[in-house]
């Protein structure tokens, strides 16, 4: 299961390794399309990537810190540093291609 992040635990959870964070909201149609793709990637993961979701309505400080103005936005971090940002809906293949560049 994809874990939920909050403003409180974001830095700690993304501090090491490769992570993908899905910034979303319940009212966002494209976010509801993106969510199953993230869930599928997580289920098929070999453990080399940690998958997270963050509700932008409940957690506003972190999206603001990273300049997230549109959702869904997928933030890829490696050892706490942002290495990629994907804005809008992306297919499984597009996300995999973005992640493989940073493994």
Which of the residues 2, 21, 31, 75 is marked catalytic? 31
Whether the pLDDT of residue 22 is over 90: the answer is: yes
Which of the residues 25, 28, 83, 86 is marked catalytic? 28
Whether the pLDDT of residue 47 is over 90: the answer is: yes
Give the per-residue pLDDT at 68. 97
CATH number where 64 lies: 3.40.30.10
Active-site residue flag, 74: no
pLDDT band, very low/low/confident/very high, at 45 (cuts 50, 70, 90)? very high
Torsion of CA 57, 60, 66, 67, to 10 degrees: 70
Give the per-residue pLDDT at 67. 96
pTM: 0.96
Active-site residue flag, 31: yes
Q: Write out pLDDT tens, residues 48-84.
A: 999 999 999 999 999 999 999 999 999 999 999 999 9
- Domain extent at residue 56: 3-101
Number of folded domains in the chain? 1
- The CA distance from 67 to 9, in Å, is 18
Whether the pLDDT of residue 1 is over 90: the answer is: no
What percentage of the chain exceeds 90 in pLDDT?
Answer: 98
Beta-carbon contacts of residue 11 (< 8 Å; ≥ 6 apart): 80
């Amino acid at each position: 299961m994809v874990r939920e992040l909050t403003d409180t635990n974001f830095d700690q959870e993304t501090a090491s390794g490769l992570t993908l964070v899905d910034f979303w909201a319940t009212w966002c149609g494209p976010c509801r399309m993106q969510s199953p793709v993230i869930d599928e990637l997580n289920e098929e993961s070999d453990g080399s990537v940690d998958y997270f979701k963050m509700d932008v309505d409940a957690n506003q400080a972190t999206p603001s810190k990273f300049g997230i103005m549109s959702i869904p936005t997928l933030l890829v971090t490696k050892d706490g540093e942002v290495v990629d940002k994907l804005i809008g809906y992306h297919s499984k293949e597009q996300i995999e291609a973005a992640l493989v560049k940073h493994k």
